[in-house]
Structure 1
Amino acid sequence: MRVSRSPLGFTLVELLVVIAIIGVLVGLLLPAVQAAREAARRMSCSNNLKQLGLAIHNYHSAYKQLPKHMGGTTANPSGGAVLRNPGHNRLELSALVGLTPFFEQQALWEQISNPLRNEGETVSFSPMGPNPRMTLNDHNTGALGPYGPWLTNIPTLRCPSDPGAGLPSQGRTNYVVCLGDSSHRSAVGGTSDNGSRTSTGAQETRASQRGVFVPRQRTKFRGILDGLSNTICMGEICTDLGDQDKRTHASYNAILTAITARSQLCEDGNTDPERPQFLSKRLVGGAEAKRGYLWAYGRIFFSGMNTIQPPNSAVCMNRASPLGNSVHFDGICPPSSRHQGGCHVLMADGAVKFITDSIEAGNRRSAQVAVIGTRTDVLAAGSESPFGLWGALGTRASKEVIDQEF
């Protein structure tokens, strides 16, 4: 008597059906997995900003003021190239440098604040190190050799969603301080690199630099009259990937004689019509002159932002000189991010908010608030921000009521 047995394993048709089902499931689940990963990265980014907010409050508690943006030493250089001189940083340090011991970077702060002698060298770096504007060539060919702190990538200053890494950057940062809603005097404020001030510079800075941080000037929480919860303290930026992204490359406009009255010209005629997120021409600066490439350097292009154009708009600098030093001067520098639809900002009270690209931003072609001699193509000092809710969030004492959700 013969006993029939069922065949072992799958038939070819059954195997193909199983593979097809698995493929469909993977196709359905993969976007969800990627979305979950991005949500985790976004939360990690938010936590980094919260840690920086806590560091700022602890700093203020310790020193009764906010860390100075564009601070440091003013000693005259004693021979050798100015940028590589060991004892002179020309008031070029970002506020992030002073914050390092308050966000678990005490070891790095010790290197910065104490004299450092490279092995085999007879000259020591003085406290606060050399000028952070040094290029990689300055680091590599200088008599003192590379200065480690300025070349350090600090994990707390990096957003997990930003893939930027490696040369030609030095130490990258995705977090920068907010300087208000006007570009005039946003590079150096009213103080020169030797510490001297003029009445004209002080007046112009007081009129236009209306953010929580003011270049080369001390600020305190008590000066934020609009309320800590209504005022942006820091923001997020992308770091450059070498792809001509308008958020990380600086552009300029050849007729841009007064950036204070021509904000929208940053994007007019400079973007690629087929790829509006990228520039088509008029790039400014060399390979190392890109957004987020120098965490310790205090100029606005590298470690600052303002609330003139909405998040993820183009960066534009106020010098009509391609491949020149434009990135070291005033400019319109919006925040940006690799997150979808907006970016994080840190409010002065320590809260972190996600601001969408579509936030109400007033008249993008408006003049800015500034005092520049006898010029009349700017808004008078003390005016409300022309950039709507977005501009109002960037000012510390403009008596603007925030009555909208953001």
Structure 2
Amino acid sequence: MKRQLEPPSQTTLVRPGGPGKPENAGETGLRSSSSASSRIRNALFPSSLSIRVRLTLWYAFFFLVLLVAMGTLVLIQVRRHLVDNADHGLKEELEELFEEIQLTRDQQEMVTRLRQRFSAHSHFHFQVLDEDLHVLFNSRFLANLQLPEPRQRPAEMRGGQFENIYLDELGKFRLLSLSVRDASATPMLLRAVSPQHALEREFRSHVWIFATLGPVALIAALIAGYLVAGHLLSPIKRINETAKLISAERPRERLPVENEDDELGELSTTLNNTFERLENSLDAMKRFTSNAAHELRSPLAVLRTEIEIALRKPRPTEEYRRVLDVVLAEAKRLGDLVDQLLALSRHDAGVQEMLTDEVPVGALLSDVTCRFLVVAQQKGVRLTSSSIPNCFLLGQDIWISQLFFNLIDNAIKFTPEGGDVLVSAHIRRKDECAIRASQGSPAMEARPGHRASQGSPAMEARPIHRASQGSPAMEARPIIEIVVADTGIGIPADQLPMVFDRFFRGDKSRGHHRGTGLGLAICKSIVKAHGGTIEATSELGAGAAFTVRLPLLDVAPSEEFVLEARPAVVLSDNGESVDSRHRAPLAAPPVSPPVGPPAGPPVNPPVSPSASPPVSPPAVRRHGFTIVELLVTIGIIGVLTALLLPAVQAAREAVRRVACQDHLRQLGLAVQNYQSSLSVYPPGGIFTGHTSWSVHGRLLPYLEQQNAFQRVHLDLDWHDPVNLATGVQKMRIEVFRCPSDPRSDELYEDDDEGFVATVNYGFNFGTWFVFDPRDDSCGDGCFHVNNYFGPEAIADGASNTLCAAEVKTFTPYFRNTANPGPQIPPNAAYLANFAGGAQFKLGPGRNENGGHTEWCDSPAHETGFTTVFRPNERVAYTHSDGVTYDIDFNSRYEGTSWTEPTYAAITARSFHPGLVNTSWMDGSVRTTAETIDLRVWRAISTRDGGEVCHSP
């Protein structure tokens, strides 16, 4: 039994900093400093001020900083220039003094000549010292003054030395000392001083000029900044005024766009496009409401009429039966309409089932085609299916079947007797599909008048409707292109863009075909939900073609899209089903060329180069920038960057942290549901080998991963060939990945298992000791090999015991054959020394079986963690390659035939700064600071240690 850290009645946390000091004191300090800076910023530039005033203040602030910096630099240069001039004057005077000394023969003559010439100089004053520093000559000004003693004797001095001195109350002077030799080569020291009063006065005058002009310039900058800010913000004011006019009564109002090339022009254009989409949505909603009311009212009116007529007087039984048949038919029609409306609303609201099933597209398309053979034969339409490849996509088979059903039913419905309907499917690459999409449907190319050549009048006259554009899924995967083409009545060019609208049923020539007008709208919703596109091409009187492109499941790069093809299903002329491989390809009946001029104006007629000269695009008025505007722009960019960048980064990190916590919460709830179903918590593996399935693999059905769990054979090792053949080990389970880990989407490559997906959340294996295969004894955590714990085993309380925590993928680790013993390692150096002869598992590309965390494997170093060290603590090891790594340690494979116990130091690590997210046995999720007391961290990992501690 461990020492009681806290009395049971108090649930507190003590950190190393001392009693009563909160664990998150560092975070509190950061929040305090951040809030203090926010208060200072709000005090200087209150948010209650207008943007124009705040921009002006920010501009003035930066201008003031720039002005002070420039003024300081200029004044420093001015002072340096003044001092240099003074020093140059001293040097010239001493040179004249030395020339005079060179003309004398002895000291007496030298002193006499110097007194005559230099004794009463007005600005410079001189002193001559012999080699023993005795004064030989003083000018009159220095007769009663004492200059500082020289620092060196004349013979020791090299060159001239400048220094500043103060002479009693006379103020500051500049002193130059120079060592020379007279005509007899005797060393002597020449000294000259000059007062600094004039220099100081001149420097103060420059300071006064800057102090006077600075506020004037600042006030001028404030005024200019205010005017420029108003000029720059005036388009926003006009946008605001125009936006106020846009309402349900005036939906066609649009914002003015003065210059499409600047940011405000782009904003106005974007808002105008948004308003236009909203207007179109409102119009579509009105049309939908009107059409829905009409469609619902029609069967209700029929029901009411038939029932009222039947009730007017007694009628024969056959008449009542006829009325009931009509009522039943209309009720069925009404029910179908409601079901279709419900399906559309579910797609619009995003409530459709999760697209997690592998749907066999070829099998579904072939099955739906076969179901329509009899219908086509009864109508006299020849239904043909080309070779359909076997391929799979991620989605819902019921919706894909509905898509094919609607398209083929629509084609047969609008094809007259003797016509043809062709169903074809091909695997395309992304770039090939893009080229084909721009050229038109292959099926349509086979018919006269639907040529794919550049500039074809038929192609120019045939508008194309695209239901969706640029789906991310379609940009990264191979694509199946499905074409349903017919030789029916076709669709007029002006109605083609509306074929996917709800309740659209075309002109009167198509109106005799009974339907709700929702089939193609449902097709569009299904295709969009599966990340694909749908388009329609048609020519009036020559038929129509609907092309669907859907992204398939990933194909390995080594594969060349070699897929097994299904035999085509064809209805022969005598009504027998035959294999299309023994049949000629579909050919439409010959079409006679039109006689006479076409009816109506041509669509997109070709233009002759000589018909009219080219028209230049209208010139866009360019706005130049003044210096003030440029400075304001730079200031605005700097301010916005300084204000928004930290906020954006913090927001992104907050979103990633919340997503990570949500994943941990799902894992915790899955553990609870597992325990509720089986009365025990999931084991960390079964003693059938070190490759037994992990806790993660056993939780799949409780994480809405039934599709993955159906591939799992728990009675076999996870890397048994039977399990590997299913490919489940390569599935990236989203709930197992932390969005902040940059490598969470990478697959680990193993020579035996191939590619394996990783995990970012490890389960609690306890402090240090993990498993002993001799007696199935396990550590003090909650998940272990060959051990099933129930709630009664969590003696410390579910709310005080860890369930799972974050770990980093691809963390290098040691594994060796020695037994480290039950003592918990005191530090990383102990582990590094102990593991000197161990296998160092670094990672892919460095050696076999590198550092990794495989979600399907059960050892602690794969899917667990221990509390040897605190969260995010760096366990450094310098490898022989000279690189220092942050490592983990594992002494054994858990659950193997080894007869020694297993010990592991697997550290909980997170990419969220300063903390790790943790899940607890009661299903809650909390953030645990990396500075948590190590005693508390170990205490909350034990299931029955007797501690009453929890992380804040």
TM (norm. structure 1) is 0.65
- For residue 700 of structure 2, the aligned residue among 88, 95, 100 is 100
CA distance in 2, matches of 1:143, 1:68: 22
Sort the Cα spacing of 1:173 and 1:342 in 2 relative to 1 into closer, same or farther, 3 A.
Answer: same
1:246-257 aligned at under 5 Å gives the runs 248-251=811-814
Match of 1:14 in 2: 629
Aligned mate of 1:156, from 697, 713, 735: 735
Letter of the 2:841 counterpart:
V
Shift of 1:289: 3.9
Distance 1:340 1:36, change over 3 A: same
How far, CA to CA, are the matches of 1:336 and 1:286 in structure 2? 17
CA gap of 1:299–1:62, structure 2 versus 1, over 3 A, is: same
**Offset of residue 257 of structure 1:** 5.2
Q: Which amino acid aligns with 1:224?
A: I
Residues 227 and 131 of structure 1, relative CA distance in 2, 3 Å threshold: same
Shift of 1:146: 4.5
Answering whether residue 854 of structure 2 is matched by residue 294 of structure 1, we say: yes
The corresponding residue for 2:318 is none
Q: Give 1:239 deviation, angstroms.
A: 1.0
Query: What amino acid does structure 1 have at the position aligned with 2:948?
Result: V
CA displacement, residues 131-178 of structure 1 (integer Å, 9 cap, x when unaligned): 3357xxxxxxx7997441112110000011111032435211111110
**CA 59–253 in structure 1, closer or farther in 2 if over 3 Å, else same:** closer
Aligned counterpart, 2:904: 331
Task: Determine the C-alpha separation between the residues in 2 that align with 1:128 and 1:334.
Answer: 28
Q: 1:234 to 1:291 in 2, by over 3 A?
A: farther
| Equivalent position to 2:944, from 377, 397, 400 | 397
- SS of the residue corresponding to residue 17 of structure 1 reads helix
Q: Could you say which structure has the higher strand fraction?
A: 2
The residue number in structure 1 matching 2:801 is 231
Residue of structure 1 in register with 2:759 after alignment: 173
CA contact (8 A) 2:757 2:854 kept: yes
Name the counterpart of 1:217: 787
Give 1:236 shift.
1.1
State the shift of 1:190 in Å: 4.0
Is the contact made by 2:831 and 2:889 (CA closer than 8 Å) also made in structure 1?
A: no
Looking at structure 2, the residues matched to 47 and 340 of structure 1 have their Cα atoms a distance apart, in angstroms, of 18
The alpha-carbon distance between structure 1 residues 25 and 312, as it changes in their structure 2 partners (threshold 3 A), is same
SS at match of 1:160: coil
Three-state SS of the structure 2 residue aligned to 1:40 is helix
1:395/1:340 Cα in 2 relative to 1: closer, same or farther (>3 Å)?
A: same
| Deviation, structure 1 residue 65 | 0.8
Match of 1:351 among 908, 917, 924: 924
Q: Structure 2 vs 1, CA of residues 329 and 171 (structure 1 numbering), >3 Å: closer, same or farther? A: farther
Which amino acid in structure 1 is aligned with residue 706 of structure 2?
Answer: Q
CA, structure 1 residues 182+111, in 2 after alignment: closer, same or farther (shift >3 Å)? Answer: same
1:357 Cα offset (Å) = 1.3
Name the CA distance, whole Å, in 1 between partners of 2:784 and 2:831: 31
Distance 2:723 2:891 in 1: 34
Aligned with 1:182 (options 748, 753, 768): 768
Q: Which moved more, 1:25-34 or 1:148-157?
A: 25-34
Instruction: Give the counterpart letter for 2:729 in structure 1.
Output: W
SS at match of 1:23: helix
- Asked if structure 2 preserves the Cα contact closer than 8 Å seen for 1:181 and 1:394, the reply is yes
2:747, 2:757 within 8 Å by CA — same for their partners in 1? no
Matched-pair identity in %: 31
Residues 290, 302 of structure 1: 8 Å contact kept: no
Q: Quote how far apart the aligned CAs of 1:213 are.
A: 1.3
For 1:291-314, what per-residue CA distance to the aligned partner results, in whole angstroms no more than 9, with x for missing partners? 553101000000011122111233
Q: Are the structure 2 counterparts of residues 286 and 230 from structure 1 closer, same or farther at C-alpha, using a change threshold of 3 Å? A: same
Matching of residue 303 in structure 1 with residue 883 in structure 2: no
C-alpha distance in structure 1 between counterparts of 2:819 and 2:711, whole Å: 42
Which residue number corresponds to residue 284 of structure 1? 841
After TM superposition, the structure 1 = structure 2 runs for residues 78-93 of structure 1, keeping only pairs within 5 Å, are: 92-93=692-693
User: 1:24: how far off?
Assistant: 3.2
Are residues 1:360 and 2:933 paired?
yes
| Residues 258-280 of structure 1: per-residue CA shift (max 9 Å, x gap) | 25325134345959xxxxxxxxx
Return 5+ residue gaps in structure 2 as ranges.
1-230, 232-621, 750-755, 876-887, 893-897
Over 3 Å counting, the alpha-carbon distance change for 1:27 and 1:251 in structure 2 is farther
- How far is 1:212 from its partner? 1.2
Which of 258, 282, 302 is equivalent to 2:820?
258
Q: Is the 8 A contact 1:251 1:266 kept in 2?
A: no
Q: Is the 8 A contact 2:690 2:858 kept in 1?
A: no
Question: Helix, strand or coil for the counterpart of 1:111?
Answer: coil
8 Å CA contact 1:66, 1:220 repeated in 2 = yes
C-alpha separation in 2, matches of 1:269 and 1:220: 33
- Please give the alpha-carbon distance, in whole angstroms, between the structure 2 residues aligned to 1:267 and 1:318: 16
Find the residue that maps to 1:29 and give its secondary structure. helix
Q: What SS is found at the alignment partner of 1:132? A: coil
Are residues 1:318 and 2:880 paired? no
CA contact (8 A) 2:805 2:908 kept: yes
Taking a change above 3 Å as real, the CA distance of residues 269 and 390 of structure 1, as seen in their structure-2 partners, is closer
Asked if the contact 2:730/2:747 (under 8 Å) is kept, the reply is no
**Amino acid in structure 2 at the alignment position of 1:397:** D
Contact 2:748 2:758 in 1 (8 A): no
CA distance in 1, matches of 2:675, 2:708: 20
> What displacement does 1:284 show?
3.1
Show CA shifts across 1:324-361 (max 9, x none).
x9xx9631112111010121111100111111111111
Tell me the secondary structure at the aligned position of residue 739 of structure 2.
Answer: coil
CA–CA distance in structure 2, aligned partners of residues 65 and 156 of structure 1: 22
Question: Which letter maps to 2:704?
Answer: E
Aligned to 1:131: 717
Q: Is the 8 Å Cα contact of residues 259 and 318 (structure 1) preserved in structure 2?
A: no
Q: Note if contact 1:239-1:290 (Cα within 8 Å) is conserved in structure 2.
A: no
Equivalent residue letter for 1:33: V
- Rounded Cα–Cα distance in structure 2 between residues aligned with 1:216 and 1:285: 29
Q: 1:318 deviation in Å?
A: 2.9
Residues 664 and 925, structure 2, Cα contact 8 Å, conserved in 1? yes
Cα deviation for residue 15 of structure 1 reads: 2.2
SS of equivalent to 2:662: helix
Label 1:262 to 1:348 Cα distance change in 2 as closer, same or farther (>3 A): closer
Distance 1:282-1:129 versus aligned 2 partners, 3 A rule: closer
Q: 1:145 to 1:174 in 2, by over 3 A?
A: closer
3-state SS of 2:826 partner = helix
- Return the alpha-carbon distance in structure 2 between the equivalents of residues 176 and 19 of structure 1: 48
Q: How much has 1:21 moved relative to structure 2?
A: 2.2
Q: Does the 8 Å CA contact 1:177/1:235 hold for their aligned counterparts?
A: yes
- Distance (whole Å) between structure 2 residues aligned to residue 301 and residue 34 of structure 1: 32
Which of 56, 79, 94 pairs up with 2:671? 56
Q: TM-score, normalised by structure 2?
A: 0.29
Once residues 851 and 760 of structure 2 are traced to their aligned partners in structure 1, the CA distance between those partners, rounded to angstroms, is 9
Q: What is the Cα deviation at residue 11 of structure 1?
A: 1.3
